[in-house]
Structure 1
Amino acid sequence: YWNDVFVPGTNNEYNPELEKAWRVADFLELGELMCLDALERKESCGGHFREEYQTEKGEAKRDDKNFMHVSAWEFTGDGKKPVMHKEGLDYEEIKVAQRSYE
């Protein structure tokens, strides 16, 4: 990204265009991480849907046994793959169950 981006303005004053370029770089990095996380998740749940993980009627098929956690990704350096850490979720007030929108 940084090899090809053109940022108008100068470095002799506050440059809001440079701030925008940094934000775009952050969004690209976040988007890449979201795709990596989606590929790791072998289920359909909430806003995440994979065709290979659906019921016969086309509804999301959850896998709470293996995926009821928060995926916290650790930055390990430029050009290196991030490391996923699983933070378990324990629900006391609600019962986790397969949803049906029929």
Structure 2
Amino acid sequence: MQGLADGYFVLPATIGDYLARHPHQEADPDHPAVAEAVAEAVADTEDRLALLLAVDGDRTPESFHRELGALLWEECGMARNEAGLRKALDRIPELRDEFWRRVKVPGTGTELNQQLEKANRIADHLELAELMCLDALHRTESCGGHFREESQTPDGEARRDDGHFSYVAAWEHGGDGAPVLHREELAFEYVHPTQRSYA
């Protein structure tokens, strides 16, 4: 939960610090690959902002943000279960479709427009929220700060499943298809994972 709450503020400083400490080759701004990448990014951004402004619906970006946040808090928070995750996975695509039909962004894209900025981020959050719930549904164990209600010991402690989940997961966007899971197995040579008990 700290990552969710603080990541937005910590990440920009972390990236800047990393880039400052690690030498890298300077990119030539006139190189054709740089010019092509910048032009593509600008066009994609302009297209997306134009789409957000064109919807002219009847719901504020904030209303979508609150609904999505409440859904994730209830169904994909620190304690979650299969039924709640499936509920969230049913609702998020509906909410995303509703967002693109009903969001109302006042103002234009030619001046500072915080509502447009927020709507653009919420569009990304809707994609990320679905992936978070998919990953949480896939990982049927209790691990770290995330408690799967179906995976607990008789005395209510989180039950690990290191035989099936000792890997780092990275999900690849599947375009129009389903996301693809990539795994990197973890090897423990000295200290091995063990069942926690807070009793």
Aligned residue number for residue 51 of structure 1: 149
TM-score by length of 1: 0.86
- The answer on 1:86 being equivalent to 2:157 is no
- The answer on 1:99 being equivalent to 2:168 is no
CA–CA distance in 1 between the matches of 2:168 and 2:149?
22
CA shift for structure 1 position 93 = 4.7
CA shift for structure 1 position 23 = 1.0
| 1:1-102 equivalences in 2 (<5 Å) | 1-78=99-176, 80-102=177-199
> 1:8-53 deviations in whole A, cap 9, x for unaligned?
1112334232111111122222111111111111211112212221
**Which protein shows a greater Rg?**
2
TM-score by length of 2: 0.47
Q: Which amino acid aligns with 2:130?
A: E
Secondary structure of 2:101's match? coil
More deviation, 50-59/91-100: 91-100
Residues matched between the structures, number: 101
Secondary structure of 1:3's match? helix
| Cα RMSD (Å) | 1.6
CA–CA distance in 2 between the matches of 1:6 and 1:49?
37
Q: Which has the higher contact order (CA 8 A, sep 6+)?
A: 2
CA–CA distance in 1 between the matches of 2:152 and 2:109?
52
CA shift for structure 1 position 60 = 0.6
Gaps of 5+ in 1: none
